Amino acid sequence: MADVPNNSPDQPAVVPPHTQDPPREQRTGVRQTLAWMRDLMLSVVIAVFVILFLYQPVKVEGTSMMPSLVDQERIFINKFVYRFGWSDVQRGDMVVFWFPQDPSKSYIKRVIGLPGDRVRIDFGQVYLNGRPLIEPYVPDEFRDRFSSPETVVPPDKYYVLGDHRSSSNDSRSWGPVHRRNIFGKAVFVYWPPEKIGPLP
């Protein structure tokens, strides 16, 4: 005799296991994981974009920019401001550039002379276009007695000096820096904590 299905309302319907939907908690967990992965990927893309095109963290090595910047300080440089011509290199900017005599190294110095400027140094005193240059960022104890004859900064080049004149290797030794070698402007100190803030 064939079995007769029990259609009694008291008998619950049996659904094969492979057709059952996953529990609501499991579906919610999968969605949250996918959303987290999406947000992580987006954050990575944004971080890469910022580092490549906008701001880059760098470490100061050496004492040539004391007291403005000291050895082992961490700073952000703005690579966007010069790259697309939104701003010209200005006198007084602290710029980061590839060292002309060894492009594998990068230096940071302060811009003193722009293209066409006349720069002369007399016993440590900088003269710009015939007038003494006021440099409050260079303490007396960091000055030296160096002298050099007047030179005209060539087109597309910049005369740069370190703030610590007695321990800086700069344009006094190897001449002005070409514009194409300048790739960033120092804008912000983020380490150590007591010095966190924008650079003048």
Catalytic positions, written as ranges? 64, 109
Q: Say how far apart CA 91 and CA 112 lie, in whole Å.
A: 5
**Rounded to a whole number, what is the largest CA-CA distance in the chain?**
120
Token pair in block for residue 142: 């960091």
Tell me which amino acid residue 56 is: Q
> Residue 175 carries which DSSP code?
-
Q: Say how far apart CA 191 and CA 119 lie, in whole Å.
A: 34
DSSP three-state, residue 125: strand
Question: Taking the mean position of all CA atoms in its chain, how far away is CA 197?
Answer: 14
Token pair in block for residue 191: 């380490």
φ/ψ (deg, to 5) at 38:
-60, -45
Q: Say how far apart CA 153 and CA 68 lie, in whole Å.
A: 25
DSSP three-state, residue 145: coil
